[in-house]
Amino acid sequence: MTTLLQQIANGIALGATIGLIALGYTMVYGIIQLINFAHGEVFMVGAFGGLAVHRWLLPEAWQGDWYISLPLMIVGGVVVAVTIALIMERFAYRPLRNAPRLAPLITALGVSIVLQEAIRIWFPNAESAQAYPKAFIDAQVDLGPVSISASKLLIIVVSVALSVGLQLYVTKSRMGRAMRATAQDRDTARLMGVNPDRVIVLTFLIGAALAGVAGVLYGVDITNVDNAIGFQNGIFAFTAAVLGGIGSLRGAVIGAFIIGLIKTLGGQYMPGGTQYDYVWIFVVLIFVLVFRPQGLFGEAERVRA
């Protein structure tokens, strides 16, 4: 029983990380119908941005005080992730805005490789696990029968708060309205005075900021990072977005929790253990897509005039 609850807690924490990444996939897809395969690398670059801040920018005196160092690392991760994402949008995707769909998709794969290699070349030894500072959050928090590390609890709290915040922003604010309008019918949004370039940049910016936060919190929780974490978590996040119904914010978050739970519970209880935990994720994905191709929260048919 305790094991079960413990694994559920772990699954939720994993889902919270994946969810922050999945939001970026789903938002960008919603606006420009691009599967930005390089988004997982934005998460990875964010994790390294946070690590770089800790290693090279923070005075030693502050490194042990998590309430100072962690926020600064998050800021560093977000700045790096956002910068990379905006460069990518401007120079890799924007020139292909009117190209056939396959062109930006292949470009995204290329950008992904470029980012992995760039980190490998410029960040010392990034292809092997780099220790992530953790001293500040290795406390355990007891929640009844389960005990969860403070770092996992932090991821869950931050992820839920940011997801709710994003949902409110998109549904209530003027820019959020412009984003939804652009996603539904770009030309008509332009007739309302919406500048689609600004909306697209904002979408990449928000997605990258969330991925940057996720990258740093992931590093702190897992305690080491390498230049392949973007690929692995990117696949999970992309799968979560598809499972939830790509284009849907709620779907991405719920899909991510489902995937986090399948992975940890499958690894614990299914034959093959953690060696096969990936398999169950894709089994569930395939079943959902067979019976509900639009995903759990996707629209049956996108009405695009």
Partner 1 sequence: MSPLLEVGDLSVAYGAIEAVRDVTFSVDEGQIVSLIGANGAGKTTTLRTVSGLLRPRAGTVRFDGRDISGLPAHSILNLGIAHCPEGRRTFGRMTVEENLLLGAYTRDDEPGIQSDIRRVYELFPVLGQRKNQKAGLFSGGEQQMLAIGRAMMSRPRLLMLDEPSMGLSPIMTNLIFQTISELQSQGTTILLVEQNALAALALSDHGYVIDLGATTLDGPGKELLADERVRSAYLGED
Site for partner 1 (CB under 8 A): which residue of 115, 181, 208, 216? 181
Q: Closest CB to partner 1 among 179 and 206?
A: 179
The span of 19-27, 34-42, 115-123, 193-201 binding partner 1 (CB under 8 A) equals 193-201
Site for partner 1 (CB under 8 A): which residue of 83, 184, 223, 268? 184
Give residues 114-143 in contact with partner 1 (rule: CB under 8 A): none
What would the two tokens of residue 118 be?
């760039």
Site for partner 1 (CB under 8 A): which residue of 192, 232, 287, 293? 192
Distance CA 232, CA 239 (A): 11
Q: Closest CB to partner 1 among 162 and 194?
A: 194
Q: Which residues contact 196 (CB under 8 A, 6 or more apart)?
A: 182, 186, 189, 190
Q: Is 250 in the site for partner 1 (CB under 8 A)?
A: no
Beta partners for 147? 142
Nearest to 25 by CA among 49, 48, 42: 42
Task: Please answer whether residues 160 and 18 qualify as being in contact, where contact means their C-beta atoms are separated by less than 8 angstroms.
Answer: no
Q: Longest Cα pair distance anywhere in the chain, in angstroms?
A: 59
Q: Which residues contact 70 (CB under 8 A, 6 or more apart)?
A: 136, 137, 216, 220
Site for partner 1 (CB under 8 A): which residue of 120, 169, 185, 223? 185
Q: Is 100 in the site for partner 1 (CB under 8 A)?
A: no
Site for partner 1 (CB under 8 A): which residue of 128, 187, 271, 300? 187
Distance CA 85, CA 294 (A): 27
Site for partner 1 (CB under 8 A): which residue of 193, 271, 300, 301? 193
Give residues 282-301 in contact with partner 1 (rule: CB under 8 A): 299
- Interaction site with partner 1 (CB under 8 A): 174, 177-178, 180-181, 184-185, 187-195, 299, 303, 305
